[in-house]
Amino acid sequence: MEARWIMDRRCDALSEIVVVSRGERYYDVRAMTQLEIDAFLEDLVRAEFAQLEAAKYPDN
């Protein structure tokens, strides 16, 4: 699995978090600080919310 491959690769991470998953997608976040990871997660959630809203109101 992609997440396991990322976690098994030796690389220094800037935080304890090395992989973020959202749905079936995995993101390598080892080069991000905790603040960058938080902002990235917020962006992912906003994008997902926008997709859900667009699906609810396809004519807008």
The Cα–Cα gap between 53 and 60 comes to 10
Q: Is the pLDDT of residue 60 over 80?
A: no
pLDDT tens profile 5-50: 766 766 667 788 888 888 888 898 988 999 999 999 999 999 999 9
Give the model's pLDDT for residue 10. Answer: 65
Give the model's pLDDT for residue 1. Answer: 62
Backbone angles phi, psi at 9, to 5 degrees: -70, 135
Distances (CA, A) of 43 to 8, 9, 10, 12, 56: 26, 26, 27, 24, 20
Taking the whole predicted model, whether its pTM rises above 0.75 is answered as no
Do residues 21 and 37 make contact, with C-beta atoms less than 8 angstroms apart? no
